Amino acid sequence: MAEKDLSNTAAHPLDPPTVAEIERATGLIAEAMGKAWTERAGFCSVALVEPGKAELSAFRQGDPVSRKLRFLGYDYPIEQPDGGFDAVVDLNTNDVAVSRITKGQAPIGFADVVNAVRIAKQDPHWQAAMRRRGIEDFENVQIDPWPASGYPHPSIPAGHRAHRCISFVREDKSDNGYARPVQGLIAHVDLTAGRVAHLEDHGDIPLPPESGRYDAASQPRLRDAPKPLSITQPEGVGFEVDGNAIAWQNWEFRVAMHPTNGLVLHQLGYRDGDQMRPILHRAALSEMIVPYGDTDPMHVWKHVLDAGEASIGNCANSLVLGCDCLGEIRYLDHVAVKPDGAARHVPNAICLHEEDNGILWKHHDGHSQTTEARRSRRLVVSSFHTVGNYEYGFYWYLYLDGSIEMEIKLTGIVGVSAVRDGKQRDEFAPLVAPNLASPVHQHLFCFRLDFDLDGQSNSVYELNTQAVPTGPGNPDGTAFRIRSDLLASESSARRCVDPARSRSWKVVNPARRNRLGGPVGYRLLPGPTPALLADPGSRVAARAGFSRYNLWVTRYDPGELCAAGDHPNLNPGGDGLPAWTADDRSVEDTDVVLWHTVGSTHLPRPEDWPVMPVEKCGFTLQPVGFFDRNPALDLPPAH
């Protein structure tokens, strides 16, 4: 595949921002802000302002393309500190609209992390605390700046950018620093003032004794490697890539990377005969929260909103063939923004490939002694993101039978605490290595699923299986049935999973009927997934209100993309889904958006150390009456 021209102009309204567009736009912002743009100012993220549905529907190839980019950043105003700027640049007119962030802050940028580490290491009180613990070589001290989240220190004024910095000791640059946490020491860094505002010190605990190296060279021995596995497609891949537009079997869609939402599918539809039937207008992660359950002062405050606070899309890896991806691969790149306004090219940020998926359908007919079987295949659209100590892989799977799956893969290195002999607290932080404990915590991911199921007038029903009481109509007590309840308003659509009742949710288009007379539909099948365990009155629940339920349904609003609001960094909470649904709007027979929170409650184990095997969670979208019968009957037999 020819290398993509990263500086070209857009050919479609949903094409991702290019190098040339980003750098022209950042120049226009600096010019518009004038003297307010100082050497301390910087950009955190850039995103395409996606056109509305009517504009996209009217667009035809070759039409002029409307282009607006949105930037979040900080400029440290002197007289009245605030959360930074939120700027939109119209690339067609060169107009710049800058608004101030008055609640919350612009997200964490690379410059924030570098500055926080520098400020902490230069602080004489931090240095004295490290020396008291016997640590003299600060060069090999690893500092992890964490968002101050809902717990900014009282000594840091409102409007100031802030981090909490925790420390680890490495033997050298190649070491795994997380094996030796500096327990009890937290530096509250005021980035705006450029100082450590408060040093929290809970006393000295010895560093754990063991190394946590996980590279191959550090292992005492290696097993025999698995025999080579070669995945080839002699006739080439089965999908087509045109810029960011993808076609495979009967599927068509566009794909992009968003700084907050990460991997995004746009305009996903299925070709049924000679008709392209829309299913999802936009599907992506909306926000996520990682709340810790440990009461230890090193962890009790941790609840990172990795999407909105850390811009998870900007943390995308450059994927490597044979390691991250296997088979006949096609890659798409991502372009982000550096603090100084230059574009940052991330090659191979999105991976596209096909996978065999076992049996799709099969039956052996004993009368005719014939067998018909078809193999399943899926198209995989994936990306991997490193956020501090954790890695997150997001995998969209499209199947031949019209099903859609999201699978999240969690790996990386668990959070840790140093503990004294005999002082472990397994109920809050089980031991994973000698004198090293890992706190219980959750990973909760809220996905925004903007349905346009055969059109924009959709309704949502909750399906529960229900046992029928024993009686005249059910004398043996064996009957059970499906109960279907309309979720007519935003308040009634706040729901949690219930595996005991096989609970699922179905989106239907009442105006479009299948051949059996029922409305066409797609079912959201949740996995075994938790909701937020923190108290509803906690700061965590206030800042991540979306995570209290597994399902929300709202009316479509193009400005409602991020479940915790647009500016969650240092935001006390209340924004996003709780605020949007306060008016309890009707969501019956209208343009609906489903918000589905999935995740994992992680109870660490020794097998998670020193690097964690992949843990998975996710959900499936399954056609229910969308097709008149099995849509994969036309698949030819394999030979």
Mind telling me the catalytic residues? Answer: 306, 390
Q: Looking at the DSSP assignment, which residues form a beta bridge with residue 332?
A: 350
Residues 101/85, Cβ–Cβ less than 8 Å: yes
Residues sharing a CB contact under 8 Å with residue 301, sequence separation 6 or more, in sequence order: 149, 150, 151, 164
What value, to the nearest 5°, has the Cα angle with vertex 358 and ends 408 and 530? Answer: 25
Residues 87/71, Cβ–Cβ less than 8 Å: yes
Strands 519-526 and 612-623: antiparallel
- What residue has token string 């889904």? 577
Residues 556 and 560: their CA atoms lie apart, in Å, by 8
Question: How far lies 481's CA from each of 82, 94, 467, 521, in Å?
Answer: 56, 60, 6, 19
Longest dimension (CA), the chain: 86
| Tokens matching residue 591 | 């343009």
Question: How far lies 573's CA from each of 158, 262, 442, in Å?
Answer: 15, 22, 19
- Amino acid (1-letter code) at residue 497: V
What value, to the nearest 5°, has the Cα angle with vertex 20 and ends 18 and 21? Answer: 65
Residue 406's nearest CA partner among 533, 245, 529 is 529
The alpha carbon dihedral of 263, 268, 271, 276 has a sign of negative
Residues 447 and 36: their CA atoms lie apart, in Å, by 37
DSSP secondary structure code for residue 451 in this structure: E
Residues 213/610, Cβ–Cβ less than 8 Å: yes
Strands 275-291 and 303-304: antiparallel
Cα distance from N-terminal residue to C-terminal residue, the chain: 29
